[in-house]
Structure 1
């Protein structure tokens, strides 16, 4: 079995500053996307080091109209108790991600459904894909949804990204982005409209990815506190590790 780490997961954003403690990622094209504007620690910081890093990032983001700070910690290491207590006291949202992979031939068989059609996004259905993404992105605010349109359009022209859409009874119901590398393919942004859930759409989208790339392992990141991770385990995905993250949004 191939060994994967969080370094195999795509990061949208560039390193604009680095020192012995952290790397600072920034994506000026989309300032409201937290996962592209953050600090990634190379080692677990002390409380004083975290405070200094947070002050630096807050000042940097505030000068650019950004209202958040976000931090990732080293893979498979939990922040020290002093840090966790500080996060609780000062209202940081904390959690952790889990990394999974699967060989395509290990993914369960998906029963055919005549009401469901899964397709690669092309010029013919791209507008339907954009509309579906916009509706899903609205949960994070109108400004975010509008900015995300530009990223979807950029991905559409990228030969290393395949966008996939699912139609249920002819209506756009779910989608997934597939990030292609030499080593693997990554499932990203897998989503199904709430009204269309529990109809096998998520599994069908994954099956489409497996069938499209039968010779490459498929990787994905799941929220460690989300029920989706249980689904991935039942689907034969293999667990590789975790990564803690914290963020704070300022009103």
Structure 2
């Protein structure tokens, strides 16, 4: 297997500032997408350095009406105790991601006859958009509507495939496949709650493996998510972790404050 790192994971947005300490990514098309607007540290910051960059990013995002600040820390390093305490006391949501990869021929997963998986077409694009909208609504109406328009535009992107799964003809799940030169990334894999544990997630992955047998398949899992145990059983290789942190701020409009994500603008 080729050398895979978090650098292989696709990021929407543009690098607008970079030096030997950090890089800043900004995505004007989706300002409220947290994972596309952030600072990524190349080396672990001290508490004072983190505070300085937090103040900077808050001021920068505030100019665009953004309600969050997000940071990624260097791979395979844990923030120091005083930094973790500062983030906890300051209302940051801190977690970690895990990186996995597999050669398609080594995939072990269920092949359920009741599940059909296909690339999204013009005819069923509305189904894909609605499934994503329903899932994204938990983050607020404004975000869900912005994401729907973004997904609609992504339909014509050659390096991305939008995938749907059906259980006995009923829409069951979806994912996005990001096609690189040597890798294929499974991104945003989801199965609707009432149809979980019927093999849709495994069948979606098998579709990817069969569609791209000569590429390394990669994905990122939430470190606290039980799905990562499934990936291990399916023969994915664990390649490392990366800590991240997020802080949300209330939105102010007409003298009132609204919780992040709830204000439709």
TM-score (norm 1): 0.97
CA distance in 2, matches of 1:14, 1:159: 19
State the 1:19 CA deviation.
Answer: 3.0
Q: Name 1:14's counterpart in structure 2.
A: 14
Query: What does residue range 189-200 of structure 1 map to in structure 2 within 5 Å?
Result: 189-200=188-199
Q: Name 1:108's counterpart in structure 2.
A: 108
CA distance in 1, matches of 2:5, 2:217: 13
Query: What does residue range 43-82 of structure 1 map to in structure 2 within 5 Å?
Result: 43-82=43-82
CA distance in 2, matches of 1:86, 1:109: 42
Is 1:119 aligned with 2:114?
A: no
Over 3 Å counting, the alpha-carbon distance change for 1:49 and 1:109 in structure 2 is closer
Runs of at least 5 residues in structure 2 that lack an aligned partner in the other structure? 251-265
SS at match of 1:29: helix
SS at match of 1:94: strand
CA distance in 2, matches of 1:109, 1:44: 38
State the 1:9 CA deviation.
Answer: 0.3
SS at match of 1:100: strand
Which runs of 4 or more aligned residues in structure 1 lie more than 3 Å from their structure 2 counterparts after TM superposition? none
Q: Name 2:140's counterpart in structure 1.
A: 141
CA distance in 1, matches of 2:89, 2:23: 25
1:96-148 C-alpha deviation (Å, 9 max, x unpaired): 100000111111153332x3211111112111111111111111111111000
8 Å Cα contact 2:108/2:233 also seen in 1:
no
Q: Name 2:234's counterpart in structure 1.
A: 235
CA distance in 2, matches of 1:90, 1:110: 44
Q: Name 2:261's counterpart in structure 1.
A: none
8 Å Cα contact 1:34/1:68 also seen in 2:
yes
8 Å Cα contact 2:115/2:167 also seen in 1:
yes
Q: Name 1:183's counterpart in structure 2.
A: 182
Q: Name 2:40's counterpart in structure 1.
A: 40
CA distance in 2, matches of 1:112, 1:199: 8
TM-score (norm 2): 0.92
State the 1:92 CA deviation.
Answer: 0.8
CA distance in 2, matches of 1:161, 1:189: 12
CA distance in 2, matches of 1:209, 1:41: 32
CA distance in 2, matches of 1:6, 1:220: 10
SS at match of 2:50: helix
Query: How many aligned residue pairs are there?
Result: 250
Q: Name 1:151's counterpart in structure 2.
A: 150
8 Å Cα contact 1:3/1:240 also seen in 2:
no
Q: Name 2:260's counterpart in structure 1.
A: none
State the 1:60 CA deviation.
Answer: 0.8
RMSD across aligned C-alpha pairs, in angstroms?
A: 1.0
8 Å Cα contact 2:96/2:241 also seen in 1:
yes
Q: Name 1:215's counterpart in structure 2.
A: 214
CA distance in 2, matches of 1:250, 1:35: 16
